[in-house]
Chains A and B, each alone.
Chain A
C-alpha cells in the first residue's frame, strides 16, 4: 500500500510568480485535501477534491486553485505569490466520510518559500 507522495519537497519562488504543487493519493483513496501550515500554526484547510470536483473550500482567495485527475492525484496552483504564502503545504487523501475509518493520510508536504 503506497502512501501519499508530494512533489517537490522544497521550493523557492519570487513574489508575483506562480507555483504548482503535486500530490499522489494513497492507493484506494478517492478524496484529496490540501492544507497550509504556517510556522507555529496548525494546518489550515484550503480545499478538497472528490471525483475531480471541488468539494469544500476554506478561507483562501481564488488565486489558490486546484485540480484532481481521474487517477485521484491532485495539483495545487497558487498565482501571484505573496510573502505570506510561505508555508508547508500538506496534501491528504482519504475515503469520503462514512466509508471506512475516517482519517486522513498526509504526505510529508512541500515547503514553499516566497522571497
Chain B
C-alpha cells in the first residue's frame, strides 16, 4: 500500500524555467511533509518541509505547496539550474510517529 505517491518517475526541464514536482498521499494522519534531494552515491539531503497548518513554504528558489483537501503537494524550483539535476523524494510523517514514509522519487534533469 503506497501511502505516498510520486507518479512521474522522470521530468526534464530547460535551464532557467520552472520545475514542478508532484506528490500525492492517502493517509489523512500525515501532518508534516518534506522534500529530499538525492545525488548518486550520496544519501538524501533535506530540502524543504511544510506543516499541515500551512499551505505554502518558501526557501530561496524552492517553494512547497500543500493542498490538504486534495492530499497533494508540489515542489516548485524557480529558476531551474543544472545542479538541480537529481532524484527528488517526497516524504510524510504523522505527529507522534517518528517514521518517514517516502515516495518512489522523481528524477529531474535540467537541460542546459
Bound Cα distance from A90 to B96, whole angstroms = 22
CB atoms of A104 and B89 under 8 A apart = no
Which residue of chain B has the shortest Cβ distance to A40 in the bound complex? B104
A26–B61 CA distance with the chains assembled, in angstroms: 27
Judge if A33 is at the interface, Cβ distance under 8 Å.
yes
Q: Assess whether B18 is interfacial by the CB under 8 Å rule.
A: no
Residue A87 at the B interface, CB < 8 A? no
Q: Using a Cβ–Cβ cut-off of 8 Å, how many residues does chain B contribute to the interface with A?
A: 26
Given contacts A40-B104, A42-B105, A103-B49, contact A48 B99 (CB under 8 A): yes
A37 CB to nearest B CB, Å: 8
- On whether the beta carbons of B32 and A102 are closer than 8 Å, the reply is yes
Q: Is A72 an interface residue (CB 8 A)?
A: no
Given A43-B89, A97-B95: A106 in contact with B101 (beta carbons within 8 A): no
Interface residues of B (CB under 8 A from A): 4, 6, 32, 34, 36, 41-46, 49, 89, 91, 93, 95-105
Nearest 10 A/B pairs, CB to CB: A106-B43, A42-B102, A45-B99, A103-B46, A108-B43, A106-B44, A42-B104, A43-B102, A107-B43, A48-B98
